[in-house]
Structure 1
Amino acid sequence: MLHVRTRSVDATRQVAAALEPLLRPSDVILLSGDLGAGKTAFVQGLATALGVREPVTSPTFNLASSYEGRLRLHHLDVYRLDNPAEVLDLDLPELLEDEAVMCIEWGEVVVPELPRDFLRIRIQLGHLEDIDDARVLEIESTGPSWMSREQELSLAWAKWITDQTEDS
């Protein structure tokens, strides 16, 4: 597991942008964290790096938004879903077949429906000295595709990686 620390929302977007060169069609990124932790900011940074030109906002009420860039990006927010059966309303299987990058906010409820390869990112408020916008991102590779890229992830995020034993 990697631990990444950022000092601002913009730095969280930069961490996401640094992931872009490593993305492959059909990659899935599961984002979790408290309200306001920076999940949407992460997706915004990734979208910008992918060349998406339109504004990216949290799809809380429509559940899913799609954007065109170097790779198509599906952005889902499943905060309002209470059980996995409601995932069928999202057409998740069809979205997964699209060979797009998929970012899922509050995605723990859909884990049973996901392929075995996904990147899990937990974003936590990580107060650092007197910096209120600090975040700690816990990044876990799940499945062989993401596990084979762990070295590349470490290099891409080297300037933000922190020792997991540090106070957050």
Structure 2
Amino acid sequence: MNLLFSRALENEDATVAMGRQLADVLHLGGVIYLKGDLGAGKTTLSRGIVQGLGHTGKVKSPTYTLVEPYELERVNIYHFDLYRLGDPEELEYMGIRDYFSPETVCIVEWPDKGTGFIPKPDLAIEMRYVGDAREIAISACSSRGQELIEKLQSDENK
């Protein structure tokens, strides 16, 4: 299960647009892991996803709150940033399992810090610097993830 989708992202607008494209295929829910160095565009991509799913307000980074909820008409989105998490067991105390269901979209930045307390992803996204631009690589980690990547590829070829 290692279907891959990749693309160069030349600037912030391209990163937000990629997030919106992901939103088009994520409308039925999914778990996304976002990996990459600080400043690689994880929160910018998340903004595109959240806005693409219908949120019209500001999209904040949950760096200090651990989770930023967006309860929308069509779908609930939970954006996690585990960068400042001291101990993964803290996630159990905040009721982390209650956020994850088949109908929600859960975006998890720095997922390695929550190992053992968060479900496996449908999509694992790696963002990295390539010169002044960035590159995104999306891997399927479940059959649902594979369906999502196939839809992304199909939309690309239209």
TM-score for the superposition, normalised by structure 2: 0.87
Identity of aligned residues (%): 31
Residues 79 and 117 of structure 1, relative CA distance in 2, 3 Å threshold: closer
The structure 1 residue matched to 2:124, chosen from 115, 120, 132, is: 120
- Which residue type is aligned with residue 71 of structure 2? E
Give the unaligned 5+ runs of structure 2: none
Distance between the aligned counterparts of 1:100 and 1:148, measured in 2?
Answer: 17
The answer to whether the 8 Å contact 2:32/2:121 transfers is no
- Which residue type is aligned with residue 19 of structure 1? L
TM-score for the superposition, normalised by structure 1: 0.82
Q: Tell me which moved more, 31-40 or 67-76.
A: 67-76
Count of residue correspondences: 154
Which protein is richer in strand relative to its size? 2
For the pair 1:19 / 2:61, whether they are aligned, the reply is: no
- Which residue type is aligned with residue 90 of structure 2? E
RMSD of aligned residue pairs (Cα, Å): 2.0
Paired position in structure 2 for 1:35 = 38
Distance between the aligned counterparts of 2:156 and 2:130, measured in 1?
Answer: 17
Shift of 1:114: 3.4
Distance between the aligned counterparts of 1:122 and 1:136, measured in 2?
Answer: 8
Paired position in structure 2 for 1:109 = 113
For the pair 1:142 / 2:129, whether they are aligned, the reply is: no
Distance between the aligned counterparts of 2:108 and 2:120, measured in 1?
Answer: 15
